[in-house]
Chain A
């Protein structure tokens, strides 16, 4: 049966998929709030475990904030493609006449706005709570904005690889933690450099390069991985 609807342009298809996912996320506010709550609670654990000494907390703060942000992104990416996989809409996407890499990227973008982006926006508050010096707060925000793009994309790849596996949650962490190492190193280095009064621009530029590079490469891998998961 020939379709009587004209084919959407790639950009329109991307936008439609993006909005569809964005609306889907908006109907479940708990999915947006829980990662932030997790971030908040794990941050609280560190002063309890390490002792309340402000100077020591301040020196550890860049590392703590970044590691916890990485863990939060691990927690949320496990479910990224799960609901679409279960209700069959992922299969429809794979059959659609648009590259799966592009439509999957639209989903990842919506997901990032609801998780990584928000997490980066609120991170200075937690930075203040851990006694991070004021010079580091803006760099923390920018580095997390750029870094969460990479973290979300790599997390989406892990989710695409494990979506068809029962109890894939821990496996996902095993797969993507080693891939996230450079992001963590550049991110903490930027914040630490800013706290020491240096110029964090080179580290931020590296993070931005990683983010752009992964935006180009990782969606292709996500598309391939989704097809594997659908075939198996």
Chain B
């Protein structure tokens, strides 16, 4: 177990291991996404109140769930990189920021598209939407900070500090936005029909959440491999590996 974790810290070993992992995980992800999408979009029954428009939750909810988990992964990698100075943790953190930002953006956009027919407006200053928007800002801050540094080792450590502070702050932000919303709550909107979800709709949703986790992992690994190829483009082991295959 410990040797495995230690090996993960070595770029050549990680490069080979992630290559195998992606080769297996990529077909699984595509299958899960296809099955989940067909099940959710075609097989699952329409909602009696919202008709077919509710089906966007099969994209919206998984994206939102994984976006939040991605931030915690990023902050965790940041902590590992600050404490043990492991290069691969830097790469993980750096690679997960843009993926998480894109997932957050997907959740926001699909939410807006769903809101138009259901609530009658593209955007509403609802507590959840607002906290997702702030999560997007936190992600973009990490990406912007990383891009601003010339020295990428320092950039990774600066981003680690920022993402850790952000992680401490996220529960506070969520709670405060919740209270802010209850402070001037508009009376017209009710979020109904989602809380008691029927199993015929729930199973495809769970499947899609698993599929999005796999998608996140695959994208993250591909991102990290691209980063490794770039930073080690002069190293012997990489030339040997690419020459072999």
Contacts and interface: CB of A to CB of B under 8 A. Distances in A.
29 contacts: A157-B161, A161-B158, A161-B161, A162-B145, A164-B154, A165-B148, A165-B149, A168-B148, A174-B140, A174-B144, A175-B141, A178-B134, A178-B137, A178-B138, A178-B166, A178-B169, A178-B173, A181-B177, A182-B169, A185-B180, A186-B176, A189-B183, A217-B168, A221-B164, A228-B154, A228-B157, A228-B158, A229-B158, A232-B158
Chain A, interface residues (CB within 8 Å), range: 20 to 34
Interface in A156-170: 157, 161-162, 164-165, 168
A87 interface: no
Interface string A169-190: 0010011011101100110010
B169 to A, nearest CB: 5
Interface residues of B, number: 32
B192 interface: no
Interface in A183-224: 185-186, 189, 192, 210, 217-218, 221, 224
A97 B183 CA distance: 48
Given A161-B145, A161-B158, 11 more contacts: A165-B149, A174-B137, A175-B145, A175-B162, A178-B166, A179-B138, A182-B173, A182-B176, A186-B176, A217-B168, A228-B157
B151 A232 contact: yes
A231 interface: yes
Contacts of A210: 172
Given A181-B173, A218-B165, A221-B165, A189 B145 contact: no
A120 interface: no
A161 B155 CA distance: 9
A19 B36 CA distance: 64
Contacts of B17: none
A210 B168 CA distance: 12
Contacts of B82: 224
B179 interface: yes
Given A182-B169, A224-B161, A228-B157, A189 B179 contact: yes
